[in-house]
Structure 1
Amino acid sequence: MTWRESLAPLRERNFRYYFASRTVNVAGNSMASVALAFAVLEVTDDDPAALGFVLAAHTIPMVVLLLWGGVIADRLPRTLVLQVSNVTSAASQGAIAFLVLTGAAELWMLIALSAAHGVVSAAGMPAMAGIMPSLVPREELQRANALMSLVKSSLVIVGPTISALLVVGVGAGWALAVDACTWLVSAVLLGFVELPARTRDAGAASTWVELKEGWQFVRSTQWLWVVVLGFGVLNAIHAGPWFTLGPLHAKDTIGEEGWGLVLSAEAVGLLAMTLVMLRIPLQRPLLWGMLGISLLGVPILVLGAHPTLLLLVVVAFVAGAGTEVFGMGWNLAMQENVPDEMLSRVYSYDMLGSFVAMPIGQLLVGPLALAFGSGEVLVVSGVVYVVTCFLVLLSPAVRRLPRVTSTTSTPAPAAP
């Protein structure tokens, strides 16, 4: 496959505008976390607990409302849902920027605005996850997903650095103002994505009935619920031992700079595998995906057992590549096998399982490290991570799920 063929999805008008919209949006998001952190610290005189309150204010309503957000994204045009979400996000981020710049910001204001952002994200995320099959032909899904991943991986590497430069140069408020503008530009670009309007029968099901339909699909689809259940464990380990305990253990072994290099190596590995996925078709998406994500347990194990910088950089690079293989495989499995009319709902159940598990790992890892030692907890966590991946692969439905190779499917026609 040539590089020209790898870029084929960009010949689709709808995908081209969506790609531009998401590029702008991801650029803003990659800068927002750093800018928001410094803005909160500026407002609260460096109170570390305050940042936790602001972040929790965003996460809690998003998790609570995710399932209803999936119903909304399946009922209404997904481009409309995304536009409303983006405009509302621009308003909340713009309000935070204005308050910080004028010196009027107080902690309760930032918490309230972050909560509003979390509410609209609950609908925007399932809509974004479910829109891809409407933008490109089925045979272009892998390359389309790879192009989106390429943008995200690239900007995640450079975005925080740019944000930090903005914070130092002009202040956190202006950095947040830039993020607010990217939400607006993203919404405008989505206006050029023309998909047919969705129609609902007069006797359309209630929200609760549609939620139940989505749950029944998840429960009756073995490969789906097995992977989601497995990731309940995997995400708890990733959020707890790796991202919470990892920096503390690294500080005493490879140092803060070494930890930064390890995370950068993981991001570079992800980016490198994205380029591979642009050209090489991924067959058996969940088989290779689970094998790929199992590699993420290796750096957790190495950090606990033998924290040598060079070895950690190498295994982190490989783990990043494996993470991209799973991300690609999971999106292909969902987009090719879940009916479009319930795709956002099913994604919302998947997201709910992911987000709910993360605080568990974050809360448990501290007491466990105090009781048994951080190195020991990391070693056991790495082993459990790999074992969980192989337990998921015991399911024949996961191992044998094929690609849907029909080339007769085409993107939905543009609205007149």
Structure 2
Amino acid sequence: MTTAPSVRRPGPLRHRNFRLLVTGSAVSSFGNAITPIALAFAVLDLGGSATDLGLVVAAFAGAEVVTTLLGGVLGDRVSRKLMMEGSSAASAVAQAGMATTLITGAATIPLLTVLGMVTGVLSALNQPSSQAMTRLVVPPEELPRAVAVRPLAQQLGMVAGSVAGGALVAVTGAGWAIMVDAATFAFAALCFSRLRVAHTRPDGPRGSMLSELGEGAREVLRHTWLWLLIGQALVYHLFYGGAQGVLGPVVVGDGIGRSAWGAALGAMMAGFVAGGLICLRWQPRRALFAGAIMLTLTCLFPLAMALSDQAAVILAGAFLHGLGLSVFSVFWDLSIQQNIPEDKLSRVYSFDIVGSFVARPLGLALTGPVAEAVGFRNWLLVVAVVLFVVEVAALFSRDVRHLEIAGLHSDDPAL
């Protein structure tokens, strides 16, 4: 076969640990893309309103936010491999329990809310360790490409999961769809259990949980680009989380068809994949600034839902949303990986996650009643405008514009 190895088999995939990490993450992403679709329609089928759906999703998000800082401290204290393996196995059990209640007809909206909170806690314990793991499974010179390859594999899984989610819900029902997610968590736990990595711990006595959190907070505040863009993400999730999680299934799912909403999420995931492919070849010196420019595309998805009843327009908006967010996320992740010390990396990621998502439960809970008061499409238009304004405002930061990424040269054929 004459296809260039740099395209068919990126350098980081030569490493066994990286392959296991990518495989487990991608399979888990496949299942995670199914559950939001299944859960949304499960709540609606139980007679729930947009407000009920928002509260169920907010319970998951709220539990996740509350627990993430603990996950960050533990990720810098104990084995990140153990954190990932254990949380994935426990998530498999929790999702299987949720699926069983739906399959047997025992599910109620309050019960789904509680189970969603359990799943949120387990996800929070996993995320900081998972994001910090990349640097431990590849040599430093291959980190830029690894940071692009890993999310690309995860987004491919999410594309497949988004398409499969709509079909599974339509054919088998929400319960069996969520059971598939449980199986993917079990497979991911198996992959993570086979990782062979060392976890470097700082010398000397450990401080208290609060003191270690304080160290992580001070590290975040040392970097203007870091806390500024975390603040931008807070506004993004406050407004956009409800637009996708609450209004999308109603406006698109009920207005055009449930399969159309699944296709829209699939188009967004396809945009993520396209963004990942772009990042494999396009790696500018001022990558964070380039990513921040691309992030302005995210306003187009809520704008399309607000202004159009045509599936093609909504799919295009979803694709561009995913494209812009994907490019930004890769360059954002690389900026953190290259500029934060190893012994603080999980904690910084936990502050990134919490700062980004802390307002999401509030947005999810309020989206239903606010949108019902002002009109669903009117609120989607407000969301689009807010996203565009805050994303453009970040471009005026000198620190965002001038942060340079080490080892990135767009003309280097090895990249």
**How would you bin the TM-score normalised by the shorter chain?**
0.7 to 0.9
Per-residue CA deviations over 1:193-250 (Å, capped at 9, x if unaligned) read 1111444645211110000001111112111011111222222232245665566666
User: Which residue number in structure 1 is paired with residue 96 of structure 2?
Assistant: 94
User: Which residue number in structure 2 is paired with residue 190 of structure 1?
Assistant: 192
User: Which residue number in structure 2 is paired with residue 11 of structure 1?
Assistant: 14
Q: Distance in 2 between matches of 1:112 and 1:187?
A: 23
Q: For the Cα contact (< 8 Å) 1:139–1:406, is it kept in 2?
A: no
Q: Distance in 2 between matches of 1:268 and 1:117?
A: 26
Q: For the Cα contact (< 8 Å) 1:285–1:328, is it kept in 2?
A: no
Per-residue CA deviations over 1:241-273 (Å, capped at 9, x if unaligned) read 566556666689988887666554433332222
Q: For the Cα contact (< 8 Å) 1:76–1:198, is it kept in 2?
A: no
- The count of corresponding residues between Structure 1 and Structure 2 is 404
Report the alpha carbon displacement of residue 282 of structure 1 after superposing the two structures with TM.
Answer: 3.7
Report the alpha carbon displacement of residue 361 of structure 1 after superposing the two structures with TM.
Answer: 3.9
164-173 vs 198-207, greater mean Cα deviation? 164-173
The RMSD of aligned alpha carbons is 3.4
User: Which residue number in structure 1 is paired with residue 222 of structure 2?
Assistant: 220
Residues 1:34 and 2:37 are matched in the alignment: yes
Distance 1:335 1:53, change over 3 A: same
Report the alpha carbon displacement of residue 32 of structure 1 after superposing the two structures with TM.
Answer: 2.6
Matches within 5 A, 1:51-90: 52=54, 54-90=56-92
Q: Distance in 1 between matches of 2:132 and 2:224?
A: 20
Report the alpha carbon displacement of residue 93 of structure 1 after superposing the two structures with TM.
Answer: 1.8
Secondary structure at the residue paired with 1:204? coil
Q: For the Cα contact (< 8 Å) 1:129–1:344, is it kept in 2?
A: yes
- From 181, 192, 195, the equivalent of 1:179 is 181
Report the alpha carbon displacement of residue 122 of structure 1 after superposing the two structures with TM.
Answer: 1.6
29-38 vs 242-251, greater mean Cα deviation? 242-251
Report the alpha carbon displacement of residue 57 of structure 1 after superposing the two structures with TM.
Answer: 3.5
Q: Distance in 2 between matches of 1:243 and 1:389?
A: 21
Secondary structure at the residue paired with 2:281? coil
Secondary structure at the residue paired with 1:296? helix
Matches within 5 A, 1:38-187: 45-48=46-49, 52=54, 54-102=56-104, 109-187=111-189
Q: Distance in 2 between matches of 1:393 and 1:338?
A: 22
Q: Distance in 1 between matches of 2:103 and 2:371?
A: 41
User: Which residue number in structure 2 is paired with residue 412 of structure 1?
Assistant: none
Q: Distance in 1 between matches of 2:62 and 2:105?
A: 27
Q: For the Cα contact (< 8 Å) 1:166–1:175, is it kept in 2?
A: yes
Q: Distance in 2 between matches of 1:101 and 1:308?
A: 34
User: Which residue number in structure 2 is paired with residue 414 of structure 1?
Assistant: none
Matches within 5 A, 1:243-392: 244=246, 263-301=265-303, 304=306, 313-362=315-364, 377-392=379-394
User: Which residue number in structure 1 is paired with residue 27 of structure 2?
Assistant: 24
Q: For the Cα contact (< 8 Å) 2:48–2:109, is it kept in 1?
A: no
Distance 1:373 1:86, change over 3 A: closer
Distance 1:58 1:383, change over 3 A: closer
Distance 1:360 1:32, change over 3 A: closer
Secondary structure at the residue paired with 1:74? helix
Distance 1:241 1:96, change over 3 A: closer
Report the alpha carbon displacement of residue 366 of structure 1 after superposing the two structures with TM.
Answer: 5.9
381-390 vs 213-222, greater mean Cα deviation? 381-390
Letter in 1 for 2:86: V
Report the alpha carbon displacement of residue 158 of structure 1 after superposing the two structures with TM.
Answer: 2.6
Structure 1 unaligned spans of 5+: 408-416
Structure 2 unaligned spans of 5+: 410-415
Letter in 2 for 1:275: L
Distance 1:4 1:181, change over 3 A: same
Report the alpha carbon displacement of residue 331 of structure 1 after superposing the two structures with TM.
Answer: 0.7
Larger radius of gyration, structure 1 or 2?
1
Per-residue CA deviations over 1:373-400 (Å, capped at 9, x if unaligned) read 6666555543432232222122111111
Q: Distance in 1 between matches of 2:299 and 2:329?
A: 16
Q: Distance in 2 between matches of 1:374 and 1:109?
A: 27
Q: For the Cα contact (< 8 Å) 2:165–2:262, is it kept in 1?
A: no
User: Which residue number in structure 2 is paired with residue 411 of structure 1?
Assistant: none
Q: Distance in 2 between matches of 1:298 and 1:167?
A: 27
